[in-house]
Structure 1
């Protein structure tokens, strides 16, 4: 039969290369998972802050008496956290309108949402 050699498996080098490739893929997937978790938390905070801003905007728009000009601040409990908001009302060139800017800060103190609306005086 001679010296015929049959290959019945992987060499050590081939196994190490395959292991290195799978290891790099696993590390990449773990980093992607971390970025996804971070992004989803940021989006959740922004969504809750927008809900708070829209609640305050609804109060401003539905109150039959126009709010006074100037700046007001307050807090709102939403999703188990305290959200700080600032409402600034200023005059418009047309005296029949007022500009209302509502900014909401997340519990950490960074601005998370802002909304601008206009209302009749």
Structure 2
């Protein structure tokens, strides 16, 4: 039986893709490539990767209408990253959730998108 083997990408609209890419590079350390996106290789033993890439706000790629989404980034030290983002002036939600799935915090990017940061359990 054929099945899904991983996430192929995260694609979304942006008012200013280049500026938003620069913000994510500066504040979250994403390695934004020349073409405007980020390639995540989660398992070097398997082909494929996950992509992160903003699209122009008027793109037709997603079809007509608004497309809601949520981005969740895995992080290695939630407390340190949230502290670093606060110092940089990024909007940080004061709430942190903890469960058997790990710890979760939230920030808001310059376009008003709520981003979830996840530190998996040790």
Question: TM > 0.5 between the two?
Answer: no
TM-score range, shorter chain: 0.3 to 0.5
Higher relative contact order (CA 8 A, sep 6+): 2
Q: Which has the larger helix fraction?
A: 1
- Higher Cα radius of gyration: 1
| TM-score, normalisation: structure 2 | 0.34
State the TM-score, normalized to the length of structure 1: 0.34
